Amino acid sequence: MRKLFAILTMLAALMLASVTAFAAPSLVDNAKVLTPQQRQAVLAELHKQEQAHNVRIAVVTMKTIGGAVPGEYANKLLDDVYNDGAKGNMVLLQVTNTRKWYIATDKQLKQVIVGNEGIEYMSKPMVAQFKKNDYAQGYITYAQKAGELLEYYEKEGEPWDPNAGINWFALVIAVGIGGAAAYGCRALLISGMSNVQKAVKANAYLVKKSFELTHSNDTYLYTNVSTVPKSKSSGGSRDDGSVRKALLMIIMAAAVAAIDIIMS
């Protein structure tokens, strides 16, 4: 695998370097996804951004890179081929047979295009064009977005941050005011609805005169009631509840005494 990667990288480097003795072209379309006219348009945009910011912005398309990892392959292109930008270098590698792409930046441009936010800023509109099979416009968009990030850094002296400039305190206040306004509007709308009112009694939900009972009759069918006298005890004393009452009084007295002891 490592040998295959090294061979492919060397072939790509030799192919790029053979075009000119001074520098590799900023666009190498090995996968043949562009027409001659499209190549000219893409190259024009790449050169425009390169000259404006004194960097190298390259695009390389490959039908296949074998078993190589796109990120490693793109970084190898930066190290061996695209390394002549005075203020940094970047390359977009697209592999058509796997439909994978990778944007690699060197150490200088990593300070300008920081983290996933910068890469997403360039790649999101670019991928939208790829999905339409408009590769030329995708590469042009990639170059333009890279130029925007570079211009921002040159003006502000710091990398572009999507969260920069957000006043979080003001945002929380705005959300609170918006929530209160929404709740007030909801309460106002509910109070204005004729069929939604608070009721004190259950019969308030009845519509008057919607039902009138004119006759009521209870009929019991097949009811048989039998009465059996309770047998009386023939001997011994009968407990009429006095014993239970006495026990209850004793328990209550003991409880009161215990409470008095605890309170004292």
| Structural domains of the chain sorted by starting position, each given as residue range(s) with its CATH number in brackets | 2-156 (3.10.310.50)
For residue 54, what pLDDT is reported?
A: 94
SS3 of 84, please? coil
Q: What is the pLDDT of residue 214?
A: 75
Q: Which residues of the chain have pLDDT under 70?
A: 1-22, 114-115, 162-205, 209, 211, 213, 220, 223, 232-247, 256, 258-264
- Contact between 24 and 57 under an 8 Å Cβ cutoff? The reply is no
Q: Which 8-state DSSP code applies to residue 236? A: S
So what's the pLDDT on residue 215? 73
- Concatenated DSSP letters of 142-211: HHHHHHHHHHHHHHHSS---TTTT--HHHHHHHHHHHHHHHHHHHHHHHHT-TT----SSGGGGSPTTS-
For residue 211, what are its two tokens?
């039902």
Percentages of the chain per state (helix, strand, coil), in multiples of 5: 50, 10, 40
Helix (H, G, I), strand (E, B) or coil at 43: helix
Nearest to 91 by CA among 23, 154, 139: 139
Measuring CA to CA, how many Å separate 173 from each of 47, 97, 170, 183? 47, 51, 5, 15
* Token pair in block for residue 195: 């069929």
